[in-house]
C-alpha cells in the first residue's frame, strides 16, 4: 500500500469517527427510534391498548411526512406486566437497536424496574402510564410525567364525596401494591383535611379471585362511599358482589377503571352510577369530538387492526406522547437528547387530547412539579349503556 | 355468629369451584401419575369455544354448551393420543414439562385467537344474583349467590356420578385397575390405552364444566389461573390419588381462606392455602386422605 492510499484510509477513518461522535443514539437523518413496553398478554392486557394507540399515532405522523424528514421507528414489546421482562426487554432494545427516548410504558412496578437504568444512561422517558409518585419524587432530569398522580385522583374523589355528596363514612379497597397504596395515601390525606378518617381500608392481593371476604368487610363497615383502587377485573367483581350481598354504597374509582363501555359490558350494567376520576376531556357522551380527536379517530380507522376497539385506553396512547412529539418537532434538525430535554422543559399550557394545560419547568431537584406535567383531573359518572356524564370541572391538586 | 355463617357459606361456595378443578386433576393423576398443569387451559379452551359458538355463530347457550362438552372430550382425547401417548417413555418430570408446554400452547392459542380483552359470557345465571335466606338463622339475612348455589349443586352431582362410576361401572373399575398396575391390567385384558384416553377425556369434561362456571363471571385468557392453583392445592392437600380427598381438600381451603380473611388477615388470605399445604405435607406427605404406598424393590 503506497503512502497516498494509507493517507486516504486514515482520512476516511477519522471522518467516520467524527460522524459517530456527532450522532445521537437512536437518531439518523431519516429515522428516530422510540421504544415502549406494555402488557399485550397477561392479566393487565386490557391496558396494552395504550401502546397500540401510540403505534397508530406514530403511523399518522409518519404518513404526514414524519418530523424534519425523519420517520419514527416504533419498538413496542410485550412485557406481560412482569418487571423482570420489562427490564430485560428495555436493556436488549437499548443496547442492540439504540433507542433515542422511551414513550409511556404501562405500570408502576414495571416502570420502576427500568427507571434507574434509563436515568443512569441519561435516556429521556416521557409519560409513564401510571400515577405513581415515584416518577417525580425526587424529580429526575430525563423523566417527564404526565399522568396525574393516583393520590390526586383519590383526593378529587374524596373531596367530591364529602363536599358534594355529603358522605361522612368513606372506605377504600386497594390493590396491595404501588398503585393501590398511592390511592390510599391520597384518600387518607384528603379526608384528614376535612377532619375525617377512612372508615375502612381493605387491601386486596392482585392474584386473588375470591373477593367476597373483602365485600363482607366493606358491608360491615357501613361505608357510604367506597373507593376502588384495583384492576378492572376486580372492580367489576367487587361491584357485582356488592349487589349480590345487598351492599348499597357509592362506588368510586380511578382513571384505570374509567373505560365505561367495557366496564358496563363486563358488569352486565352494574357499572351504571359508578364515579371515576379521569383526565381525558373527550370521554364524554354529551360533548362533540374536537377536530384533533376526529383526526385521531380517522387514523384509528385507517391504521388500527380490525379487532381493535376505540377506547379511553387506546386514545390515552396518543395523549401520553403528544408532548413528546411536540418537543421533537421543536428540536428541528438538532435532535439531541439535551436539546430534547430543553424543549420538553419549555412546554407550557400544552393542550392535546389528554389533560389540561400540561406544563413542565426547568429541572429543579427540589421541585417535583418541574417534572409533573398534569395535576388536574375531573370526575365522571357512568350512565346507561356505558355512557359518560361529566360531574365536575377540572380539579387541581398540587 | 351471623358473620361466621356467612363466611362459612362463602367458603363453601368458593370450595365448589376448587373441587371441580381438583377432581379433574386427580382423575388424570389416578391413572397416569401425571400432575396435569395444563388442566386450567384445558378448561379455558372449551369456555372460549362456547363463547365463539354463541358470539360468532349465534347458537343458543344450551346448544353451545352441549357442543362444548363434546369439544372438551375431543380435546382431552387428542391431547392423550397426539402428545402423551407418544411421550410414554418419558419419566414423570418429562411428562410434567410436557403438560406445562401444553398449557402454554393452549393459552397462547386462546390469546391469539380471541385477544386479551375481557369478554362477557352470556351465561343464563347472573353471577351477581342472590337468594336471600332471611331468618334461616334467627334475625339474620344470610345471602347465597344463585351461581354459587348452582356451582355447589353441579359439583355435588358430579362428585356422586364420579363416585358411582368408579365404584360400580366396569369401565371405572378398569380405570382403577390401570392405576394400580398397568401391566397386570393389560394382562387381564384391559385396553389400557383406551383407558388412558378416556381418563383424559373425562378429566377435560369435568374441567370444562368448571371453566364454563368460572367464565360466567369474566371471560379472559387468564381466568383459570387462580381456580387451577387452588384446585391443585386441594388435590395435594387431600391426596393426589384420592377423589374424595381432593373434594374435602377443596372445601377445607375455601372455608379456611374465607375465615382467615374475615378474622385474621385479609391481606394474606390468598397464601393461607399454600401455608396449610406445607404444614400438612410435613406431617402427612401423601396428603390427608390418600394411602401412602411404599414400593418394595
**With contacts defined as CB-CB under 8 Å, which chain A residues touch B118?**
46, 232-233, 262, 266
Q: Which residues of B111-147 are buried (b: 16+ CB within 10 A; e: fewer)?
A: beebbbbbbbbebeebbbebeeeeeeeeeeebbbbeb
| Mean pLDDT confidence for B280-291 | 80
| Chain A residues interacting with chain B (CB cutoff of 8 angstroms) | 39-43, 45-46, 48-49, 176, 202-205, 207-210, 212-214, 216-217, 220, 232-233, 236-237, 240-241, 243-246, 262, 265-268, 270, 307, 309
Which of A205, A244, A264 best probes binding to B when mutated, by most B CB atoms within 10 angstroms?
A244
Pairing of strands A225-229, A31-38: unpaired
Cα separation of B165 and B272, whole Å? 33
Q: Is residue A207 part of a domain?
A: yes
Domain residues for the domain of A188 are 151-278+379-396
Report if residue A373 sits inside a domain.
no
pLDDT of residue B273: 77
- Name the band, by pLDDT with cuts 50, 70 and 90, for residue A44: confident
Whether B189 is in a domain gets the answer yes
**A267–chain B nearest CA distance, Å:** 8
Is the pLDDT at B134 greater than 80? The verdict is no
Write the secondary structure of chain A as one string of H (helix), E (strand) and C (coil).
CCHHHHHHHHHHHHHHHHHHHHCCCCECCCEEEEEEEECCCCCCHHHHHHHHHHHHHHHHHHHCCCECCEEEEEEEEECCCCHHHHHHHHHHHHHHCCCCEEECCECHHHHHHHHHHHHHCCCCEECCECCCHHHCCCCCCCEEECCCCHHHHHHHHHHHHHHCCCCCCEEEEEECCHHHHHHHHHHHHHHHHCCCCCCEEEEECCCCCCCHHHHHHHHHHCCCEEEEECCHHHHHHHHHHHHHCCCCCEEEECHHHCCHHHHHHHCCCCCCCCEEEECCCCCCCCCCCCHHHHHHHHHHHHHCCCCCCCCHHHHHHHHCCHHHHHHHHHHCCCCCHHHHHHHHHCCCCECCCCCCCECCCCCCCCCHHHCECCCEEEEEEECHHHCEEECCCCEECC
Q: What is the pLDDT of residues A231-249, one digit of tens each?
A: 888 999 999 999 988 899 9
Residue A7 forms part of a structural domain: no
* Percent with pLDDT over 70 in chain B: 94
Q: Is residue B247 part of a domain?
A: yes
Which has more pLDDT, A14 or B285?
A: B285
Q: Angle at the Cα of A250 (from A244 to A254), degrees rounded to 5?
A: 105
Are B270 and A205 in contact (CB < 8 Å)?
Answer: yes
Do A203 and A226 have their domain in common?
yes
Query: Cβ(A132)–Cβ(A178) under 8 Å?
Result: yes
Alpha carbon A335 to chain centroid, angstroms:
25
Mean pLDDT value across residues A13-38? 76
Residue A332 covered by a domain: yes
- The answer to whether the Cβ–Cβ distance between A241 and B128 falls below 8 Å is yes
Interchain proximity B258–A210, CB inside 8 Å: yes
Closest CA–CA distance from residue A212 to any residue of chain B (Å): 7
pLDDT of residue B295: 53
Residue A309, in any domain of the structure = yes
The three cell numbers locating residue B78? 387428542
Residues of chain A contacting residue B130, judged by C-beta atoms under 8 Å apart: 244-246
Across chain B, mean pLDDT equals: 86
List the single residue in B with minimal CA-CA distance to A268.
Answer: B120
Residue A230 CA to residue A206 CA, distance in Å, equals 8
Question: What's the mean pLDDT when you consider all of chain A?
Answer: 90
What is the sign, positive or negative, of the torsion defined by CA atoms of A81, A84, A86, A92?
negative
Nearest to B128 among A204, A214, A243 (CB): A243
Is A339 in the same domain as A359? yes
Question: Measured between CB atoms, which of A41, A202, A268 is closest to B126?
Answer: A268
pLDDT band at residue A284 under the 50/70/90 scheme:
low
Q: Is B96 exposed, middle or buried (0-12, 13-18, 19+ CB in 10 A)?
A: middle
C-alpha torsion sign, points A8, A13, A17, A23: positive
Reported as a pLDDT band with limits 50, 70 and 90, residue A20 is very low
Q: What one-character DSSP code corresponds to residue B241?
A: T
Cβ pair A373, A360 in contact under 8 A: yes
Same domain as A124, residue A62: yes
pLDDT for the residue A359: 94
Interface test with chain A among B122, B126, B145, B218, by most A beta carbons within 10 Å: B218
Residue B294 within a domain: no
Distance from the A149 Cα atom to the nearest Cα atom in chain B, whole angstroms: 24
Confidence of residue A21 (pLDDT cuts 50, 70, 90): very low
Question: What pLDDT is attached to residue B217?
Answer: 84
**Residues with Cβ < 8 Å from B66, sequence gap 6 or more?**
none
Residue B294: pLDDT over 60: no
Q: Examine the domain organization and report whether A269 and A389 are in the same domain.
A: yes
Q: Answer yes or no: do B145 and A240 touch at CB < 8 A.
A: no
Does the pLDDT at position B297 exceed 70?
Answer: no
- Together in a domain, A311 and A227: no
For residue A307, which residues of chain B lie inside 8 Å, CB to CB?
A: 115
pLDDT band at A202; cut points 50, 70, 90: very high
Residues of chain A neighbouring B150 (CB-CB closer than 8 A): none
Selected residue of B4, B261, B267 to mutate for chain A interface (largest A Cβ count, 10 A)? B261
Q: What percent of chain A is modeled with pLDDT above 70?
A: 92
Confidence bin at A19 (pLDDT 50/70/90): very low
Instruction: Evaluate whether residue A112 is within a structural domain.
Output: yes
- Residue B261 in any domain: the answer is yes
pLDDT of residue A117 exceeding 90, the answer is yes
Mean pLDDT of B174-190: 86
Higher pLDDT, A186 or B283: A186
- Strand A125-126 to A170-175 pairing: unpaired
User: Using the beta-carbon criterion (under 8 Å), do B10 and A220 form an inter-chain contact?
Assistant: no
Chain A residues with CB inside 8 Å of B133's CB? none
Q: Are residues A84 and A194 in the same domain?
A: no
Interface of B to A at Cβ within 8 Å reads 3, 6-7, 10, 13-14, 111, 115-118, 120, 126-130, 132, 141, 143, 145, 217-218, 220-222, 225-227, 254, 257-258, 261-262, 266-267, 269-270
Q: Pick the residue from chain A with its C-alpha nearest to B220.
A: A43
* Range from B5-19, B70-84, B132-146 carrying the lowest mean pLDDT: B132-146
pLDDT at B206: 93
- B126 CB neighbours in chain A (<8 A) are 268
Closest CA to A360 of A379, A341, A376, A387: A341
pLDDT of residue A239: 96
CA–CA separation, A39 and A251 (whole Å):
27
- Which CATH number fits the domain that encloses residue A193? 3.40.50.2300
The Cα–Cα gap between A360 and A144 comes to 8
- Judgement on whether residues A44 and A126 belong to the same structural domain of the protein: yes
Segment B62-70 long-range contacts (CB within 8 Å, at least 24 positions apart) = B65/B212, B68/B208, B68/B212, B69/B205, B69/B208
Which chain A residue shows the shortest CA-CA distance from B142? Answer: A245
Q: Which residue has the higher pLDDT, A60 or B259?
A: A60
Contact assessment for residue B109 and residue A41, using Cβ atoms and an 8 Å cutoff: no
Tell me which chain A residue has its CA closest to the CA of residue B219. Answer: A266
Share of chain A above pLDDT 90, in %: 69
Interface contact B117-A46, CB threshold 8 A: yes
Q: Are A349 and A381 in contact (CB under 8 A)?
A: no
Q: What is the pLDDT of residues A341-387, one digit of tens each?
A: 999 999 999 988 888 889 999 999 999 999 999 989 999 999 999 98
Omega before A138 within 30 of 0, i.e. cis: yes
Domain count, chain A: 2
Residues A235 and A191 in one domain: yes
User: Is the domain of A389 the same as that of A333?
Assistant: no
B51, B215, B230, B269: best to mutate for the A interface, most A CBs within 10 A: B269
Domain extent, residue B176, equals 2-283
pLDDT value of residue A59:
97
Of A208, A232, A246, the CB nearest to B226: A208
In a domain, A2, yes or no: no
Q: Look at the block and give the residue holding cell 419514527.
A: A72
| Count: domains in chain B | 1
Mean local confidence (pLDDT), A7-31:
68
Banded model confidence at residue A285, pLDDT cuts 50, 70, 90:
low
Contact residues on chain B for A212, CB-CB shorter than 8 A: 10, 13-14, 258
Whether residues A161 and A44 fall in one domain:
no
Q: What is the pLDDT of residue B175?
A: 86
Q: Both A383 and A358 in a single domain?
A: no
Please indicate, yes or no, if residue A301 is contained in any of the structural domains.
yes
**Judging by DSSP bridges, how do beta strands A125-126 and A71-78 pair with one another?**
unpaired
Check whether residue A76 and residue A200 sit in a common domain.
Answer: no
One-character DSSP codes across B215-226: HTT-B-TTTTHH
**Has residue B243 got a pLDDT over 50?**
yes
Whether residue A258 has pLDDT greater than 60: yes
Burial of A165 (0-12, 13-18, 19+ CB in 10 A): middle
**Pick from A393, A376, A147: nearest CA to A287:** A393
Cell numbers for A314: 387506546
Q: Distance between CA B77 and CA B81 in Å, rounded? A: 6
Q: Is the distance from CB of B247 to CB of B145 less than 8 angstroms?
A: no
Contacts of A266 in chain B (CB under 8 A): 118, 120, 218
Instruction: Provide ipTM, 2 decimals.
Output: 0.78
**Residue range B255-267: mean pLDDT, rounded:** 85
pTM of the model: 0.83
The answer to whether the CB atoms of B267 and A176 lie below 8 A apart is yes
Amino acid at each position: 500500500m503506497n503512502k497516498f492510499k494509507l493517507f486516504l484510509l486514515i482520512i476516511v477513518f477519522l471522518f467516520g469517527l467524527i460522524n459517530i461522535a456527532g450522532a445521537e443514539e437512536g437518531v439518523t437523518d431519516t429515522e428516530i427510534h422510540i421504544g415502549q413496553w406494555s402488557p399485550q398478554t397477561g392479566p393487565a392486557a386490557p391496558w396494552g391498548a395504550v401502546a397500540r394507540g401510540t403505534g397508530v399515532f406514530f403511523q399518522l405522523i409518519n404518513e404526514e411526512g414524519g418530523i424534519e424528514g425523519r420517520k419514527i421507528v416504533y419498538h413496542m414489546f410485550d412485557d406481560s406486566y412482569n418487571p423482570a421482562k420489562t427490564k430485560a426487554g428495555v436493556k436488549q432494545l437499548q443496547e442492540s437497536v439504540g433507542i433515542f427516548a422511551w414513550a409511556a410504558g404501562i405500570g408502576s412496578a414495571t416502570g420502576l424496574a427500568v427507571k434507574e437504568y434509563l436515568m443512569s444512561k441519561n435516556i429521556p422517558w416521557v409519560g409513564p402510564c401510571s400515577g405513581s409518585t415515584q416518577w417525580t419524587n425526587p424529580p429526575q432530569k430525563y423523566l417527564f410525567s404526565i399522568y396525574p398522580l393516583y393520590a390526586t385522583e383519590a383526593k378529587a374523589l374524596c373531596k367530591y364525596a364529602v363536599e358534594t355528596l355529603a358522605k361522612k363514612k368513606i372506605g377504600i379497597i386497594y390493590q396491595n401494591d404501588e398503585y393501590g397504596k398511592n390511592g390510599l395515601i391520597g384518600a387518607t390525606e384528603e379526608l384528614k383535611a376535612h377532619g375525617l378518617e377512612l372508615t375502612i381500608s381493605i387491601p386486596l392481593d392482585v392474584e386473588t379471585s375470591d373477593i367476597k371476604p373483602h365485600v363482607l368487610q366493606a358491608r360491615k363497615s357501613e361505608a357510604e362511599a367506597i373507593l376502588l383502587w384495583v384492576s378492572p377485573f376486580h372492580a367489576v367483581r367487587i361491584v357485582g358482589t356488592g349487589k349480590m350481598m345487598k351492599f348499597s354504597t357509592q362506588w368510586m374509582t380511578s382513571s384505570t377503571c374509567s373505560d365505561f363501555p367495557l366496564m358496563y359490558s363486563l358488569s352486565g350494567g352494574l357499572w351504571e352510577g359508578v364515579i371515576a376520576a379521569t383526565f381525558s376531556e373527550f370521554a364524554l357522551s354529551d360533548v362533540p369530538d374536537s377536530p384533533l380527536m376526529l383526526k385521531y379517530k380517522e387514523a384509528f380507522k385507517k391504521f388500527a387492526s380490525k379487532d381493535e376497539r376505540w377506547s379511553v385506553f387506546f386514545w390515552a396512547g396518543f395523549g401520553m406522547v403528544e408532548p413528546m412529539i411536540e418537543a421533537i418537532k421543536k428540536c428541528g434538525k438538532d435532535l439531541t437528547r439535551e436539546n430534547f430535554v430543553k424543549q420538553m422543559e419549555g412546554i407550557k399550557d400544552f393542550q392535546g387530547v389528554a389533560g389540561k394545560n400540561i406544563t413542565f419547568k426547568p429541572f429543579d431537584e427540589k421541585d417535583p412539579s418541574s417534572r409533573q406535567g398534569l395535576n388536574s383531573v375531573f370526575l365522571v359518572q357512568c350512565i346507561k349503556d356505558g355512557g359518560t356524564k361529566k360531574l365536575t370541572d377540572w380539579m387541581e391538586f398540587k | 355468629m351471623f358473620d361466621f355463617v356467612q363466611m362459612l357459606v362463602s367458603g363453601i361456595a368458593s370450595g365448589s369451584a376448587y373441587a371441580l378443578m381438583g377432581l379433574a386433576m386427580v382423575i388424570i393423576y389416578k391413572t397416569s401419575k401425571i400432575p396435569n398443569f395444563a388442566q386450567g387451559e384445558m378448561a379455558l379452551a372449551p369456555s372460549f369455544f362456547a363463547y365463539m359458538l354463541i358470539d360468532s355463530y349465534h347458537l343458543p347457550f344450551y346448544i353451545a354448551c352441549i357442543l362444548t362438552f363434546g369439544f372438551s372430550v375431543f380435546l382431552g382425547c387428542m391431547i392423550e393420543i397426539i402428545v402423551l401417548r407418544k411421550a410414554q417413555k418419558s419419566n414423570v418430570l418429562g411428562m410434567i414439562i410436557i403438560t406445562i408446554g401444553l398449557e402454554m400452547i393452549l393459552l397462547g392459542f386462546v390469546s391469539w385467537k380471541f385477544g386479551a380483552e375481557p369478554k362477557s359470557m352470556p351465561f343464563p345465571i347472573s353471577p351477581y344474583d342472590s337468594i336471600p335466606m332471611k331468618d334461616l338463622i334467627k334475625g339474620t339475612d344470610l345471602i347465597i349467590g344463585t351461581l354459587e348455589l348452582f356451582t355447589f349443586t353441579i359439583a355435588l352431582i358430579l362428585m356422586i356420578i364420579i363416585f358411582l362410576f368408579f365404584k360400580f361401572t366396569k369401565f371405572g373399575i378398569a380405570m382403577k385397575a390401570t392405576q394400580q398396575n398397568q401391566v397386570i391390567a393389560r394382562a387381564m385384558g384391559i385396553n389400557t390405552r383406551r383407558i388412558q384416553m378416556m381418563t383424559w377425556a373425562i378429566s377435560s369434561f369435568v374441567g370444562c364444566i368448571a371453566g364454563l362456571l368460572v367464565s360466567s363471571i369474566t371471560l379472559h385468557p387468564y381466568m383459570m389461573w387462580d381456580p387451577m392453583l387452588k384446585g391443585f392445592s386441594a388435590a395435594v392437600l387431600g391426596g393426589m390419588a384420592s377423589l374424595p380427598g381432593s373434594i374435602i381438600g377443596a372445601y377445607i381451603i375455601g372455608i379456611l381462606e374465607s375465615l382467615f380473611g374475615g378474622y385474621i388477615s385479609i391481606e394474606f388470605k390468598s397464601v393461607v392455602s399454600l401455608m396449610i399445604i406445607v404444614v400438612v405435607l410435613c406431617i402427612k406427605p401423601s396428603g390427608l386422605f390418600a394411602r401412602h404406598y411404599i414400593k418394595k424393590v
